[in-house]
Structure 1
């Protein structure tokens, strides 16, 4: 952890034992400011989301792919004054920013790290509207942004939010008697909503549909060309994608790394069937989002490939893949 707004003492005091609404510092999530007169035009040709749909009142969820349609990152994109700001997990942010900077030299576009200007928090839990009001925000509808005192509140889903706050605001928040929670509380909620992010082992390994991005409005199939579009469009219109993201749960103390194998029982044998994308463990309740064959069913016997090999059960997705 390398932040100027969250001390080691504050971080170590965060608990997973929270009831009701919470606010969780997310030091592993970073931001990138994209400026210049061509910033929208440039990202329009780089990402799965439609920049023409971005306003000051909403945000976009999108992915950045290589030429083969494999993802460097998925991210949330909003506006700050004349600039754009992207929020993503640190591994995927590093991967995408390197690629965007490499090819951005041919456009009037600039990139600067938001780490010295902004901090990221996650909000959620029961009665979250009350906490949001206490922080000074109006509760935004899903897909919208609420703004207050230079901070942005993004409504990812019902009761599930990202907060981008200027560093001074973040420091002030950390000094208040708020219901702070450890990051894994928000991450477990993120998984239960069927959302994900890319950690280092899976960067450049998955196409967007493998993480259900078509089902959560993170792919536009009507915008113009972008890097990787041929693969993404072919999977929609011609089929061929045989994998999707599923929510799994187990009673286990394990906390598997991204890329850990998921196994399926075939007769008396176990075979590799998929892999972990993200994991969170709270009180020995393991939550996973994993890429598996899209014909998997709750009747299939699954387990984590680990020393303890806990049995995994499929939890229904909160959205349709159709």
Structure 2
């Protein structure tokens, strides 16, 4: 048995139970996805894995995901476990008109790794990807490099097809550390609690290269583009710390000194100092006016994000990775 190194208290190898996969296969898989997702699907070339999202006709997000091409007619979407079934049901209404099949992958294992990543890659016959947002594949597994100050990787594989069964560390401390790194990277994976709530820009998706403004139509495209070009986005994802050990539920309100709601929690995780950090969608006036904000009666502190709120075209990201 090949054994994954023990989970590190900071960023070691840990099972990521919050992630799931939805595969799209078939002759028309690319054409089908092109009409549904915010990504320029052709950019998913077997190396670059663009961030993407799926929207309602009103531009509200049903799910956000990362798009990997595993072969010419085989794509994989990585997204929240809580949204994979509803997204599959939504997309099946459109897939019926294409030679494309949607396949849930409930038996896939997801491991997040920083410390020990090279060991795990060797066990699975993988090369570690060199750049954030790129992936490598073997017959056994996929490895994807994620955002983060420390290089970190998601491994995805099916135990049933893996001759060297991998023993998995499965602890909350490791998962909390992984999600804290997502928060510090300004990366929010939506769950069913936020489905149909936000425009993509409200979670800074265009600043992470998750929206192509150069592709053709897709469901919700007109609303998303209008909000961008007319500057109509009045809420943004912000990073916040609070001196408490109590993690708020997704959707919990942040309020101003008048007890008026000014935002809602998307994701939170404990830090190493006895407090918590979180990402919340809040009114842009909060940062502009330095308004005091509170969570459950406790003063919250705005923290910087590691990127500017500017449009990043995925087409430019793809070019930079190939240059």
Give the TM-score category using the shorter length: 0.7 to 0.9
Query: What is aligned with 2:286?
Result: 296
Counterparts in 2 of 1:314 and 1:128: CA distance versus 1, 3 Å:
farther
Query: What is aligned with 1:95?
Result: 86
Alignment pair present for 1:264 and 2:256: yes
TM-score (normalizing by structure 1):
0.85
Q: Give the distance between the partners of 1:74 and 1:204, measured in 2 at CA.
A: 11
Counterparts in 2 of 1:196 and 1:318: CA distance versus 1, 3 Å:
same
Q: Give the distance between the partners of 1:209 and 1:215, measured in 2 at CA.
A: 8
Query: What is aligned with 1:187?
Result: 179
CA RMSD of aligned residues (A): 2.5
Counterparts in 2 of 1:201 and 1:129: CA distance versus 1, 3 Å:
closer
Q: Give the distance between the partners of 1:210 and 1:277, measured in 2 at CA.
A: 11
Alignment pair present for 1:317 and 2:317: no
Q: Give the distance between the partners of 1:194 and 1:274, measured in 2 at CA.
A: 16
Query: What is aligned with 1:279?
Result: 268
Query: What is aligned with 1:64?
Result: 54
Q: Give the distance between the partners of 1:224 and 1:186, measured in 2 at CA.
A: 35
Matches within 5 A, 1:155-234: 155-158=145-148, 159-168=151-160, 169=162, 172-174=165-167, 182-234=174-226
Indicate conservation of the 8 Å contact 1:66/1:72, yes or no.
Answer: yes
Out of 290-299 and 233-242, give the one that drifted further: 290-299
Counterparts in 2 of 1:303 and 1:188: CA distance versus 1, 3 Å:
same
Indicate conservation of the 8 Å contact 1:22/1:128, yes or no.
Answer: yes
Query: What is aligned with 1:123?
Result: 113
Query: What is aligned with 1:50?
Result: 40
Indicate conservation of the 8 Å contact 2:117/2:153, yes or no.
Answer: no
Q: Secondary structure at the match of 1:48?
A: coil
Out of 273-282 and 35-44, give the one that drifted further: 273-282
Q: Secondary structure at the match of 1:291?
A: strand
Indicate conservation of the 8 Å contact 1:24/1:185, yes or no.
Answer: no
Deviation at 1:75, TM superposition (A): 0.3
Which ranges in structure 2 are unaligned for 5 or more consecutive residues? 1-5, 311-323
Q: Secondary structure at the match of 1:223?
A: coil
Give CA deviations for 1:173-203 in whole Å, capped at 9, x if unaligned.
3268x99953221111111100011122210
Q: Give the distance between the partners of 2:91 and 2:188, measured in 1 at CA.
A: 22
Which ranges in structure 1 are unaligned for 5 or more consecutive residues? 1-13
Deviation at 1:60, TM superposition (A): 1.6
Counterparts in 2 of 1:61 and 1:170: CA distance versus 1, 3 Å:
farther
Matches within 5 A, 1:8-87: 18-19=9-10, 21-81=11-71, 82-87=73-78
Deviation at 1:132, TM superposition (A): 6.1
Indicate conservation of the 8 Å contact 1:23/1:180, yes or no.
Answer: no
